[in-house]
């Protein structure tokens, strides 16, 4: 399975996500459960729903989306991606 990435769309989405920050550019800071964090998580979940992806959130607020290869496939065959509130490890 070959996956093609729309680099312009990806870049725009990362820039939009970076706009949800408690500090001015070029830094990105989202303190857990701050207004910026809640808005970023809501934006990400909406983006996933618009792409018809399954979205779930765990007890501590990590948001996961799943892409199913086939709707009848059990969850162990799903590809998982996550937006983790726990913070990035460096610049985008």
Per-residue pLDDT for the chain (92 aa), expressed as one digit of tens each? 788 889 999 999 999 999 999 999 889 999 988 999 999 999 999 998 888 888 888 888 788 877 665 444 333 333 344 444 444 444 44
pLDDT value for 75: 38
Number of domains in the chain: 1
In a domain, 1, yes or no: no
In a domain, 25, yes or no: yes
- Under DSSP, the state recorded for 57 is E
In a domain, 33, yes or no: yes
pLDDT value for 21: 94
**pTM as predicted:** 0.66
Contacts of 85 (CB under 8 A, 6+ apart): 30, 32, 37, 41, 61, 62, 63
pLDDT value for 57: 86
Contacts of 86 (CB under 8 A, 6+ apart): 62
Bridge-partner residues for 63, per DSSP?
57, 83
Separation CA 33–CA 22 (nearest Å): 11
In a domain, 34, yes or no: yes
pLDDT value for 69: 52
Boundaries of domain holding 66: 7-83
Contacts of 78 (CB under 8 A, 6+ apart): 66, 67, 68, 69
In a domain, 91, yes or no: no
pLDDT value for 68: 61
In a domain, 32, yes or no: yes
Residue 83: helix, strand or coil by DSSP? strand
Separation CA 14–CA 8 (nearest Å): 10
In a domain, 41, yes or no: yes
Q: State both tokens at 49.
A: 């729903």
């Amino acid at each position: 399975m070959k996956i093609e990435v729309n680099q312009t769309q990806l870049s725009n989405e990362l820039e939009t996500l970076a706009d949800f920050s408690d500090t001015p550019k070029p830094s990105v800071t989202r303190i857990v459960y701050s207004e910026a964090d809640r808005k970023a998580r809501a934006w990400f979940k909406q983006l996933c729903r618009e792409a018809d992806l399954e979205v779930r959130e765990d007890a501590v607020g990590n948001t996961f989306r799943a892409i199913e290869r086939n709707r009848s496939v059990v969850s162990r065959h799903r590809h998982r991606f996550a937006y983790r509130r726990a913070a990035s490890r460096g610049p985008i």
